[in-house]
Amino acid sequence: MASSDPLIRSDSLALVTVMCHNIPDAVRFYVGTLDFNLKCDEEINGERLVVATPPNLVEFTPTASLRFREAKTEKDKRAVGNQAGDGVFLQIETDCWGKVYEKLKTMGTKILDKEPRKGHQYQAVTVLDTLGNKVTIVEKTTTTLGTVFTKDVGH
């Protein structure tokens, strides 16, 4: 029997590695502040594997998990806090904008925007994670993704 392509494709990005000097610092921000779910924290072949997923996942929604990896080599160490150079490393969408924004302020997160950016159908704010990477938090709407991405890349 020959295999055939599925009628509906659903490719997705599965895992993004976040280089860090100290895994607990990364976990504190993404799990403690942004309420990501810690899915895995174990040692495999002498290396610690720590993976977190966004909160409130809905089945069949494509998403990527974050893998926190401790920097060991000089090249790894230079990447910490510099995952995307001067650009935004991650864009995280939320349908709980008010709750997330208040928690960012309460937890002392460094917010780069004086006030949230407001578009016609969304709000967004760029912050620094505990590693120094820029992360944009966006109010999730059906038209958010392209609009905010265009503003973050300066077009």
- Note whether residue 9 is domain-resident: no
How does pLDDT run across 40-51, given as a tens digit for each residue? 999 988 889 999
Give start and end residues of each alpha helix (H) in 1-111: 23-27, 74-79, 97-106
Task: Give the domain extent around 115.
Answer: 15-152
- Note whether residue 5 is domain-resident: no
- Note whether residue 1 is domain-resident: no
Which CATH number do you get for residue 113? 3.10.180.10
Give the C-alpha separation, 153 to 46, whole Å.
38
How does pLDDT run across 88-131, given as a tens digit for each residue? 999 988 888 899 999 999 999 999 999 999 887 889 999 999 99
| pTM of the predicted model over 0.75 | yes
Q: Are 126 and 116 in contact (CB under 8 A)?
A: no
